[in-house]
Amino acid sequence: ERQEELPLVVYLHGASSGGDDGLRQTEGGLGDAIRRNPEWFPAVALFPQAPTGRGWEGEIADLVLRQIDATIAELDLDPDRVYLTGSSMGGEGVYYLAMRHPRRFAGLVVSCGSPFTPAWRLEELGRPPVDRSRAGFDAVAGALRGLPLRAFHGGEDDVVETEEARAMQRALRAAGVDAALKEYPRLGHEACGRAYLEEDLWPWLFSQQRPRD
């Protein structure tokens, strides 16, 4: 039996924590929550760091998957209890990785994130707009079928629009996904860290198991 094996929580940081110092991604978000309430986390936490100015896609996403595999193997963790979470750009990364590799994860937590890069950021990068129609959200939800998800968002977030978190929830529920969204009414994007201080989130997350085929 796998009773002794610890789960793995993988945290994808937001845009301001990129670099190569191996430290900034542990400040704020999940790292802060673990420092404040270590007893909530009977788990190993993995904090990958994306290079400055890069998102969680393409080769960076592939690197995260390799880090997950190496960590599970090295520490003999439970492969059926790997949880993916991220804030802001990291939340976008959660959707990106989970859509492409849904069988690798047991549960997802998204803080202040949308599956789509914000329109203002695409403009900054000189990239074309993306499909934010209902069909766009439905496609994401379809890919995540069977993966439980909890989302948190500031009710007045104008960095990653609150309405996108709501649209994602509607699509997930329509697809039959175990999904819930908690909004912090008077907060903007600074709500990103709040999710990780929700005490009842963690027993729920750690009880999720990857379905066996």
pLDDT of 45 reads 98
Identify the helix (H) or strand (E) that includes residue 72. helix 58-75
What is the share, in percent, of the chain residues with pLDDT greater than 70?
98
Per-position DSSP letters for 79-114, written without gaps between them: TT-EEEEEETHHHHHHHHHHHH-GGG-SEEEEES--
pLDDT of 109 reads 98
Q: Which long-range contacts (CB under 8 A, 24 or more apart) does 168-174 make?
A: 168/114, 168/115, 168/137, 168/140, 168/141, 170/137, 171/134, 171/137, 171/138, 171/140, 171/141, 172/141, 172/144, 174/138, 174/141
2 has pLDDT over 80? no
Band (152; pLDDT cuts 50, 70, 90): very high
Tell me which residue has tokens 């009880």. Answer: 207
Strands 44-46 and 8-12: parallel
Phi, psi (deg, nearest 5) at residue 150? -120, 130
For residue range 39-92, list pLDDT tens digits in order.
999 999 999 999 999 999 999 999 999 999 999 999 999 999 999 999 999 999
Provide the b/e sequence for 157-185 (b: ≥16 CB within 10 Å).
bebbbbebbbbbbebbeebebebebebbe
162 has pLDDT over 60? yes
Band (201; pLDDT cuts 50, 70, 90): very high
d(C-alpha 9, C-alpha 108), whole Å: 10
pLDDT of 6 reads 97
d(C-alpha 113, C-alpha 95), whole Å: 9
pLDDT of 17 reads 93
What is the share, in percent, of the chain residues with pLDDT greater than 90?
95
pLDDT of 1 reads 46
Region 28-37: mean pLDDT is 96
Tell me which residue has tokens 């950021």. Answer: 121
Band (3; pLDDT cuts 50, 70, 90): low
Phi, psi (deg, nearest 5) at residue 183? -105, 145
